[in-house]
Amino acid sequence: MIRTAFSIYYFLENFAKINIVNEHFKNIVISGTLLLFISSCAKQERENEAVNMNIKLTWTVVTNMLGGESSCRAAFTIQNNTNQTLGNSGWAIYYSQSPRDITNTPNAKAIIKHISGDWFTIIPAQGFSLAPKEQVTVHHVLSHYLIKETDAPLYPYIVRYDENGNETSVSRITDYKILPFEKPEQINRGADDVVPIPSTTRRYQENAVLSLLPENVLHKIIPTPVSITSPAGHLELSAALQIHYSADLLSEAKYLQEMLQEITGTKFTILEKDYTEGKAIVLQTEPVSVNGVTAEAYVLDISSVSGVSITGSDPAGVFYGIQSLMALMPVDFYILSQRKILVPTVRVEDAPRFPYRGQHLDVGRNFFSKNAVLKLMDLMAFYKLNTLQLYLSEDEGWRIEIEALPELTAVGGQRQHTSKDAAVLHPSYGSGPIAYEEGTHGSGFYT
């Protein structure tokens, strides 16, 4: 298993060839030899997506109280809503579930098998026969307790075969229901478990002690700055205020200009010169120390007289000061732009409590589009996170195109049903039988 970890922290100056919307992460450190990023590959879905075969499927946990080592009994109920009898051949049901050992109950009418990873199948036992409108329940024992719906099987589908064992159709079972976990034996992990049974009444009682905090103790800036003082007053932000920046802060000035234009609909002027007099937005780097921390420290001053001043110990500090300024904007203005914005007068002194502030995203197991990843990075910047650990390869998927090795993405970037060793990965994490199906996250890669 190869894992490619991206540590993204502030400005990508040394990696100008990488196409990223937000430049305000400092370094990219890549474990492995890949220096690539995101341009999603779009592919067509399977041409012949089969229709649902009118099979109703339910699943439930029967009990976790089996005694001995952690295990549970669960059950599938299969109802035949077709106009044909399901016999002891010609069909199989597949699904995803966290890997567990399976023990089938004696004389079961159908057999559950663990194929690989989190991929399982249900096949008919000898003598199986299910007439139209009839149903059958298949009990089985699994290793480990099952106490939450997140433990339940995902995305079941049925495959039909002809008399020679060749697949004739692959269909999602759309009428699939996970029965609620309501009984102690379904929720408790053995007889000694004292966790209370969830209920709306209990949830209400637990939350009854809560009360709303007064608005004056809430901070719009998250995480809460080291120091924030708010004298009475407001500043009107409009394009009449020019953005002054020092020579090392061009990227920050352009970023602020872009953000203000999104909110106000007007373009603010940016000037590389020292601030002299009058109202302006000033970006500058000077020695700053907050709580004994200098790296990424900043001071944000908003004055009704002089305007906005953001002073950082380094460009990263200025960038985080810009994020604090944006956090003070009225939320409504992000939805409907206004040419003039009133922001409260404030003085913020801040520095990070932790040098490493990370977010992990595993697109190897569950793929997300380029735009989704870039949106995540913007949100990370807003909340002053500085490290993105991006897993691009797992057993369940390879997500970076290498032109000299096209099989990596042609095979490793696609998950779908396969029973004949086709050049694809089998379904995982509920990705289902059809590659690139809308709403699933099994297939895709970055170029």
CATH of the domain at 328: 3.30.379.10
* Least confident window among 93-97, 198-202, 296-300: 198-202
Query: What are the C-alpha distances in Å from 127 to residues 78, 89, 93?
Result: 16, 9, 17
Do 158 and 241 belong to one domain?
no
Best CA proximity match to 147, nearest among 183, 186, 101, 182: 186
Burial of 97 (0-12, 13-18, 19+ CB in 10 A): buried
Do 181 and 279 belong to one domain?
no
| Residue 250 CB coordination number (10 Å) | 14
Domain of residue 322 covers: 224-350
32 assigned to some structural domain: no
62 assigned to some structural domain: yes
Let me know: does 244 contact 281? Beta carbons within 8 Å.
yes
Do 346 and 304 belong to one domain?
yes
Query: Phi and psi (nearest 5°) for 168?
Result: -115, -25
Do 98 and 185 belong to one domain?
yes
Best CA proximity match to 161, nearest among 50, 62, 323, 258: 50
Cα 314 from chain centroid (whole Å)? 31
Q: Which of 144, 168, 190 is the last residue of a domain?
A: 190
pLDDT tens figures, 422-446 = 889 999 999 999 999 999 999 999 9
Do 248 and 299 belong to one domain?
yes
Farthest CA pair distance, the chain: 91
* Total domains in the fold of the chain: 2
Q: Where are the beta strands (DSSP E) in 97-149?
A: 102-104, 110-116, 119-124, 135-143
pLDDT average, residue stretch 18-45: 37
How big is the CA angle at 301 (ends 335 and 24), to the nearest 5 degrees?
60
Percent of residues, the chain, with pLDDT higher than 90? 72
DSSP H or E stretch at residue 410: helix 407-412
B/e letters for 281-315, b = 16+ CB within 10 Å, e = fewer, are bbbbbeebebeebeebbbbbbbeeeebbbbbbbbb
pLDDT average, residue stretch 383-405: 96
| Residue 44 CB coordination number (10 Å) | 7
What is the 8-class DSSP label of residue 446? B
pLDDT average, residue stretch 16-42: 36
pLDDT of 165 > 50? The answer is yes
Structure tokens that stand for 93 in this block: 């049901």
Do 181 and 75 belong to one domain?
yes
Do 149 and 104 belong to one domain?
yes
pLDDT average, residue stretch 11-33: 34
Let me know: does 346 contact 225? Beta carbons within 8 Å.
no
* Dist CA 357 CA 370 (whole Å): 22
* pLDDT at residue number 106: 86
pTM to 2 decimals?
0.82
237 assigned to some structural domain: yes
432 assigned to some structural domain: no
Percent of residues, the chain, with pLDDT higher than 70? 88
256 assigned to some structural domain: yes
Q: Which of 294, 318, 350 is the last residue of a domain?
A: 350
* Dist CA 221 CA 326 (whole Å): 9
152 assigned to some structural domain: yes
Average pLDDT of the residues of the chain: 87
pLDDT average, residue stretch 279-298: 96
Residue partners of 395: CB distance under 8 A and separation at least 6: 1, 117
pLDDT of 42 > 60? The answer is no
Do 163 and 234 belong to one domain?
no
Do 268 and 337 belong to one domain?
yes
* Least confident window among 4-18, 75-89, 148-162, 430-444: 4-18
Do 183 and 63 belong to one domain?
yes
CATH number for position 141: 2.60.40.290
DSSP H or E stretch at residue 160: strand 154-161
pLDDT tens figures, 234-275 = 999 998 999 999 999 999 999 999 999 998 889 999 999 877
252 assigned to some structural domain: yes
Best CA proximity match to 406, nearest among 370, 434, 373, 447: 447
Do 182 and 229 belong to one domain?
no
pLDDT tens figures, 314-355 = 999 999 999 999 999 988 888 877 778 899 999 999 999 999
* pLDDT at residue number 11: 29
Q: Which of 292, 316, 350 is the last residue of a domain?
A: 350
pLDDT tens figures, 169-223 = 999 999 999 999 989 999 998 878 888 888 899 999 999 999 999 987 888 899 9
* pLDDT at residue number 53: 60
* pLDDT at residue number 226: 97
In this structure, the dihedral spanned by the alpha carbons of residues 89, 94, 100 and 106, taken in order and rounded to 10 degrees, is -30
Query: What are the C-alpha distances in Å from 118 to residues 35, 256, 276, 429?
Result: 31, 46, 65, 7
Do 230 and 142 belong to one domain?
no
pLDDT of 136 > 80? The answer is yes
Q: Where are the beta strands (DSSP E) in 259-376?
A: 270-271, 280-285, 298-303, 307-312, 341-344, 346-350, 358-362
When pLDDT is cut at 50, 70 and 90, the band that residue 13 belongs to is: very low
* Dist CA 87 CA 89 (whole Å): 5
* Least confident window among 22-26, 73-77, 86-90, 240-244: 22-26
161 assigned to some structural domain: yes
